[in-house]
Every structure is written in C-alpha cells, then in structure tokens.
Amino acid sequence: LQNSGAVRVVLGFRGEALHCLANLSEVTIQTMTVASQPVTLCITYDIKAHRTSVRASRERNNPGTTVLVEKIFRALPVRHREFTKNKKKQLLAATLLMKQYALSHPHVRLLVAHCLGPRSAPTTLVSLTGTSDLQRALAEAYGGRYLASTTRTAPEIL
C-alpha cells in the first residue's frame, strides 16, 4: 500500500495478532508445508534483543503450523499479575474462541494444548480432525451431548 509516498506493510489479521503476542511474550512458530516437507521452518522472536531468528530443522513429521506462546505478559508486571489472577477465566475464554474458529473452518485440523509448566505434560483442550463435516466438528469441539440436542435444518431459498 502507498501512503503519502511511504510504503506501508500490512501483516493481516493473523499476522498482527502474532506480532502483538511476540511483543508480549516469547513466541516460537514451527511450520511445514507439503511442498517444504521434510523441512520445518522455525521462527523465534527475541523481545529483549528485538531480533527474529529463523532456522530450518526436521522437527515435524506432518505438515502444519505450531504457535508456542510462553511467559506471556512477563515484561508488564501489572498486566502479568492480573493475567495470573484470572488465568482460569483467560484460558476458558481462549479455548472457547478456538472452538468457535474451529466450527467456522471445519476442514482445518486443530489441536490446542496447554502446559502448566515447562516439565508438565500438555493437556489437550481442543482437538478437531478437520474432516469438513460440521456436525462432527461440533461433536469434537463441544462433545456429543451438544450434537444430540441439535436439529439439522436445510435452508429454504425463495
């Protein structure tokens, strides 16, 4: 985009969100496409040095992207204290948002996991297979009891 003779770079919605996370925490992104297989691109942003490191590795077995967020709000003590105080509520809100994203894109395989500490095993919060079946995505996101109480409808076009 041109703006008064200066070039303006736009990262897009997800890019802006990742940029914000990188400025508030330690973020590592691992991504591999079918075309780049078996090479995984690992991107890490160092908030203290304001440096991005990029390296190629063979850490993944399957194509996909993993975003790892650690030490969120550590550089902002007041915000970190508030976040820590309400961590269960924050985690629930983030999990609900991921389930909503998953339902809007049932063709995308999604796995959201949470670790309590660096040595703890991850707990799976959301796991969708990405089969493109909206009913199956609903059952995977919210459980079978929600699916049992739903009724399939067909839109009527006039």
Return the pLDDT at 2. 44
Per the DSSP assignment, residues forming a β-bridge with 124 are 113
At which residue do the structure tokens 């894109």 appear? 105
Torsions phi, psi for 60 (to 5 deg): -100, 155
Residue 9: the pLDDT is 58
Edge-to-edge strand order for the sheet containing 40-46? Answer: 51-57, 40-46, 26-32, 64-70
Residue of 67, 19, 66 lying closest to 47 (CA atoms): 19
pLDDT in the model for residue 1: 40
Global pTM reads 0.68
Phi, psi for residue 141 in degrees, rounded to 5: -75, -45
Print pLDDT tens along the chain (158 aa): 444 556 555 556 677 777 788 888 888 888 888 888 888 888 888 777 777 888 898 888 888 888 888 888 888 889 999 988 998 999 999 899 889 888 888 998 888 889 887 788 989 999 999 898 888 888 888 887 877 777 777 778 87
